[in-house]
Amino acid sequence: MIEIENLHKSFGSLEVIKGIDLHIRPGEVVCIIGPSGSGKSTVLRCINRLEDATSGRIILDGSDLSDPATNINQVRAEATMVFQGFNLFPHMTVLQNVTLGPVKVRRMSKEAADALGIELLQKVGLAEKAGSFPDQLSGGQQQRVAIARALALRPKAILFDEPTSALDPELVGEVLEVMKQLAREGMTMVVVTHEMGFAREVADRVVFIDQGIIQEENTPDELFGNPQNPRLRDFLGKVLSHG
């Protein structure tokens, strides 16, 4: 589904990602954890090509992202993104936020897109907010709309970039619940997160990134229960004692 080979990414002289290999299988839920500034979000942004990789290859559903012949817009729609800051379009209603992609990218008719939009809003529990504007919603509701927007392209995978980090603590649960439901339905998901409980419960595989490389990857039980890498142990010691 997503194959990352020897990914390097530098910003100026600062090398943020120093050679990452990661293969994500269809239907797999992979959580990426690690300290701030370790490059986890950058990996995600390279998959969506919001950042261009400095070197290495990313193959998304058979399309090579570094190949200039690849239609990046169509490929992007196969792995849509949910952002930390929601990034809903404030001048559009909730429903318009969800249907923009299907109409403009997938060339769906407005009627079909509206029907799909309502269906997806029902799925995230917000059908009654279809006509509202984003600034009338709570953060948790906005993020659920953003998930519906990402789903509306019928992507092969969804990339979550710290989806609950900007939320008030009492709103985190409703967003994680929607994500768990997606995971149960077999959606391929790559989730950069600080929610260790979510990673432990939902992930098929957890990847620990620090200093620009994958330090350890394993099933959640093994990774959390029996961490090998000293950096991982140190990291888990810090986050779990607060959790």
Partner 1 sequence: MGFTFEWQVMLETFPLLLSGVKLTIIITLGGLFFGFIIGAVTGLMKLSRSRFLRKLAGIYVESIRGTPLIVQVMFLYFGVPMATGLRITPVAAGIIAIAVNSGAYIAEIVRGAVQSVDVGQTEAGRSIGLTRIQTMRYIIWPQAFRRMIPPLGNQFIISLKDTSLLVVIGVAELTRVGQEIIAVNFRAFEVWLTVGIVYLMMTLSIAKVLQMTEERLEKRSAR
Binding residues (CB under 8 A) for partner 1: these are: 48, 50, 73-74, 76-77, 80-81, 83, 85, 87-91, 100-101, 104-105, 133, 135-136, 146, 149-150, 152-153
CB of 208 to partner 1, least distance (A): 25
- Are 152 and 101 within 8 A, CB to CB? yes
Element (H, E) at 2: strand 2-11
CB of 50 to partner 1, least distance (A): 5
CB of 135 to partner 1, least distance (A): 7
Element (H, E) at 169: helix 169-184
Query: What is the residue whose two structure tokens read 């989806």?
Result: 163
- Are 136 and 84 within 8 A, CB to CB? no
Handedness of CA 78, 87, 141, 41 (dihedral sign): positive
CB of 73 to partner 1, least distance (A): 5
| Pair of tokens at residue 16 | 């943020």
CB of 143 to partner 1, least distance (A): 12
For residue 56, give Cα distances in angstroms to 19, 20, 66: 8, 9, 8
Q: C-alpha 56: how far from its chain's center?
A: 21
Rounded distance between C-alpha atoms, residue 101 and residue 113, angstroms: 9
Q: Which of 78, 216 has the CB closer to partner 1? A: 78
Q: Which of 182, 223 has the CB closer to partner 1? A: 182
| Pair of tokens at residue 178 | 């929607």
CB of 170 to partner 1, least distance (A): 24
Q: Which of 6, 73 has the CB closer to partner 1? A: 73
For residue 63, the cross-strand partners are 60
Q: Which of 77, 196 has the CB closer to partner 1? A: 77
Q: Which of 59, 103 has the CB closer to partner 1? A: 103
Q: Which of 80, 188 has the CB closer to partner 1? A: 80
